[in-house]
Amino acid sequence: MKFKEIAKLLEAEVFSTDEQMEREISCAFGSDLISDILMCTKEPTLLLTGLTNPQVIRLADMIDILGIVFVRGKKPTQELIEMANERDLPMISTAFTLYKSSGILYNNGLRSCKI
């Protein structure tokens, strides 16, 4: 599934370029705990989270994150957007909860990442 299709399904606001939104996403993971995310992601994955501090972007230095969906209406700051741009990391923001967002994507065929 392309990242732009994910943005459409989640009625999300996009903070990235059209080119970045063409990125193919094959699996996803959702959590608000840094250690959980570090422990569970063993393949390139989409991250759904309500965290919007710089450590979320720092995570992408450690593990393969293909893009970030901020849930519950959380929006990245300008600082975060700049950090993400430096790392070619596309981001979107949805008003839906983590549960609802995950459910919608799962029902549309986006599988859970390997843990």
Partner 1 sequence: MGSEAAKSDNYAEYWACSPALESRGKVLVTNPPEPEMQLDFTIEAKDYIKTGRASSEIKLFLKKLGVNPDVLRRVAVACYEAEINVTAHSNGGTVQALIYQDYILAIFEDKGPGIEDIEQAMIPGFSTADELAREMGFGAGLGLPNIKKNSDLLYIKSAVGINTYLAVIILFEDKQDV
DSSP-derived letter for residue 43 is S
62 forms part of the interface with partner 1 (CB under 8 A): yes
Number of residues that bind partner 1 (CB under 8 A): 19
Buried b (16+ CB within 10 A) or exposed e, 55-73: ebbebbeebebbbbbbbbe
42 forms part of the interface with partner 1 (CB under 8 A): yes
Q: CB under 8 A: which stretch of 4-12, 20-28, 47-55, 98-106 binds partner 1?
A: 47-55
Q: What minimum distance in Å lies between the beta carbon of 76 and partner 1?
A: 14
Give the closest residue to 70 by CA, choosing from 61, 80, 79.
80
27 forms part of the interface with partner 1 (CB under 8 A): no
67 beta partners: 46
114 forms part of the interface with partner 1 (CB under 8 A): no
8 Å CB contact between 57 and 89: yes
33 forms part of the interface with partner 1 (CB under 8 A): yes
Binding site for partner 1 (CB under 8 A): 32-36, 38-39, 42, 49, 51, 53-56, 58, 61-64
